[in-house]
Amino acid sequence: MSLKLLFVYFFLLSIIYFPFMIALKQRWACAQELAFLSGIVTTKYIKMIMSAVLLPLTLFKHFYSKTSFFFFVMGQYIIFRYILAGKNSRKIKLIRKIRKQQEYKVRKETAEDLHDGLGNKLIRIQLLTDMLLTRTSPVDQEKITLIEKIRKNTDDLYATTKDLVWMLDPENDSFEQLGNRLKNFVEDAFRGTTVLVRTVTSLNINGISFPLMFNKNILLIFQEAISNCIKYAGAKNVLFIIKSYENGTILFLLKDNGKGFDLNYSQKGNGLNNMHERAKRINAKLNIFSNSSGTSVILKIEPIKNQYKYDDQY
Amino acid sequence: MTSTKFRIVIIEDDHTLRDGYAYLINNSPSSVVVASYCSFDHAKNNLSKDRPDVILLDIQLPGTNGIDALPALKKLLPDTYVIVLTVYESEKTILHALANGANGYFTKNNPFPKIIDAIQEVTQGGGPMSINVARTVIMSFQRNQNSPLTKRETEVLILRSQGKDRSQIAEELFIETETVKTHIKNIYSKLNVNSRADSIRVARENKFI
């Protein structure tokens, strides 16, 4: 038995049976006094007197020395700790809930502020650029090119703001929302090109809610991959798959039949490094395979503890 | 030939956008802006006089918002087409606007020539929408119309499929947590399931959500 446990035992004992011990002490003092008064002062006779005066006084094994009593006290201790732990866990749960609600509120408000503030201003710039374009003479090609560049950059900035607002909004933390967003993003990105796009989503698990900014990293990994595909691959077909498995594993795959690229050479570029960096941040495995017949980008997320929450209350 | 041009009214609270739209529409060969207002409340008394063919309506407006203004506009001017022009593109807002009588729905980030085309289209009986809006509408119509779930239960289940817990759902739908619990119990019993994951799976398979 550990020293700590013994200490706890005696500590509890002293607390619970303190009044009883006082009574014993008083009896002892009383016996001593009697012995003194009667002129018998040796301890030897005290027992005699006690048994004579304070009958019945039988000698028995102290209750606190009994094994059953030890377990009884320890049982009480365990129950006490259990109640205390329950209280603490309720408190922790409450704190977590409040924190989550606050985070939800702050994120929601920030997303709305960004949307209303920055988004509206960008829309104004877009419209003013359209106005400027109508006021520019069609023969002034140089000016038109510049204005179109402004419009293109504003459009990109608007799209980036929209992404940021989307990521910030806590309502988009779910796997389903991410799936929809990625699917739409892939379809939008290749719209107007001759590339044939096929998207497949197969979700076997539901109710997954990712932690803050988890979706952001996945979204940005594939935005980079798609942007690379459009710029460099020269592909005719693109396949995008999102699949979730019963065991909780989630797989994202972007495959094209383009001309591929040299991984060793391109590894030095920031784009690929950033993709790997983002995958590392969310403990996901990112594999990129490329050869002359195409490129595959595979992101795999394992259901590690705390990796994401599988929120099932019922 | 101003008389053959479509008469447009703009209801938009941002004056830069309002003036911009007016300028671009007036520069187009087919339309003319007859009036522009900063809110529906300012517009409603003058609309009969303006006799617009098409109204470009923002959603976020001071006083009566665009969604609530739609039925009133339709009652006031039954033959006028209304195109919603907004930054909001959530499914709830889009469907609400269309249900309230909007003839078209565009997000403001679209290049303005597309809005000019939309004005033409709507007057020819079309229902112009930006791509993202059309996609949202199609997705919502792909749902099974023979669902055993009530409208509210479907809403609750959709929110649950988005990973929200009971208190968040209650907050969003402005109902009590206990009511959410009751809805969930009813959903489980109607779909004959015992868990959240199963309820979402069954609902998805049958396109109830």
Closest partner CB to B196 (pick from A176, A191, A313): A313
ipTM: 0.71
Is the confidence at residue B153, as pLDDT, over 80?
yes
Report the phi/psi class of residue A223: left, alpha or beta, with left for phi > 0 and alpha for psi in -120 to 50: alpha
**How much is the pLDDT for A182?**
86
Cα distances (angstroms) measured from residue A163 to each of A114, A223, B90: 11, 11, 14
Is the confidence at residue B93, as pLDDT, over 70?
yes
Q: Which residues of A touch B195 (CB under 8 A)?
A: 312, 314
Closest partner CB to B23 (pick from A115, A126, A131): A131
Residue A94 contacts B, CB cutoff 8 Å: no
Neighbouring residues of A39: CB distance < 8 A, sequence distance ≥ 6: none
**Residues 20-79, chain A: which have Cβ within 8 Å of B?**
none
Domains of chain A: 3-95 (no CATH), 173-314 (3.30.565.10)
* CATH code of the domain occupying B151-205: 1.10.10.10
Closest partner CB to A120 (pick from B14, B168, B195): B14
Is the confidence at residue B159, as pLDDT, over 60?
yes
**How much is the pLDDT for B193?**
87
* Range(s) of chain B covered by CATH 1.10.10.10: 151-205
pLDDT tens digit at each of 314 positions of chain A: 567 777 777 777 777 766 666 666 666 666 666 556 555 555 566 666 566 555 554 555 667 667 888 888 889 889 998 888 888 888 888 888 888 888 888 888 888 888 888 888 999 999 999 999 988 988 999 999 999 999 999 998 998 888 888 888 887 877 777 888 888 888 888 887 888 888 887 766 556 677 777 888 898 899 889 888 888 888 888 999 988 887 778 889 999 988 887 777 665 566 888 889 889 888 888 998 888 888 999 999 887 544 454 443 32
Separation of alpha carbons B66 and B84, rounded Å: 8
Comparing A300-304, B67-71, B174-178, the range with the smallest average pLDDT is A300-304
Residue A124 contacts B, CB cutoff 8 Å: yes
Nearest C-alpha of chain B: how many angstroms from A309?
A: 9
Nearest C-alpha of chain B: how many angstroms from A307?
A: 15
**How much is the pLDDT for A47?**
65
**How much is the pLDDT for B73?**
93
Residue B204 contacts A, CB cutoff 8 Å: yes
Separation of alpha carbons B53 and B33, rounded Å: 10
Fold held by B2-140: Rossmann fold (3.40.50)
**How much is the pLDDT for B54?**
95
Q: Which residues face A291 on adjacent strands?
A: A294
Looking at residue B163, the DSSP 8-state letter turns out to be T
Cβ(B140)–Cβ(B89) under 8 Å?
no
**How much is the pLDDT for A4?**
77
Residue A191 contacts B, CB cutoff 8 Å: yes
* Cα radius of gyration (chain A): 38
Mean pLDDT, chain A, integer: 79
Residue A174 contacts B, CB cutoff 8 Å: yes
Separation of alpha carbons B161 and B196, rounded Å: 8
Residue A206 contacts B, CB cutoff 8 Å: yes
Cβ(A125)–Cβ(B108) under 8 Å?
no
Nearest C-alpha of chain B: how many angstroms from A151?
A: 9
The structure tokens listed for B13 are 């609270």
Q: Which residues of A touch B20 (CB under 8 A)?
A: 124, 127-128, 130-131
Q: What is the mean pLDDT of residues B155-175?
A: 83
3-state secondary structure chain A: CCHHHHHHHHHHHHHHCHHHHHHHHHHHHHHHHHHHHCCCCCHHHHHHHHHHHCCCCCCCCCHHHCHHHHHHHHHHHHHHHHHHHHHHHHHHHHHHHHHHHHHHHHHHHHHHHHHHHHHHHHHHHHHHHHHHHHHCCCCCHHHHHHHHHHHHHHHHHHHHHHHHHHHHCHHHCEHHHHHHHHHHHHHHHCCCCCCEEEEEEECCCCCEECCCCHHHHHHHHHHHHHHHHHHHHCCCEEEEEEEECCCCCEEEEEEECCCCCCHHHHCCCHHHHHHHHHHHHCCCEEEEEEECCEEEEEEEECCCCCCCEECCCC
**How much is the pLDDT for A313?**
33
**How much is the pLDDT for A36?**
62
Residues B162, A134: C-beta atoms closer than 8 Å: no
**How much is the pLDDT for B7?**
94
**How much is the pLDDT for B1?**
43
Residue B177 contacts A, CB cutoff 8 Å: no
Pick among B108, B117, B171 to test the A interface (most A CBs inside 10 A): B108
Residue A176 contacts B, CB cutoff 8 Å: yes
Q: What is the mean pLDDT of residues B56-76?
A: 93
* Range(s) of chain B covered by CATH 3.40.50.2300: 2-140
Residue predicted with more confidence, B2 or B137? B137
Q: Which residues of B touch A207 (CB under 8 A)?
A: 160-161, 163, 196-197, 200
Mean pLDDT, chain B, integer: 88
**How much is the pLDDT for A309?**
47
Is the confidence at residue B71, as pLDDT, over 90?
yes
**How much is the pLDDT for A33?**
64
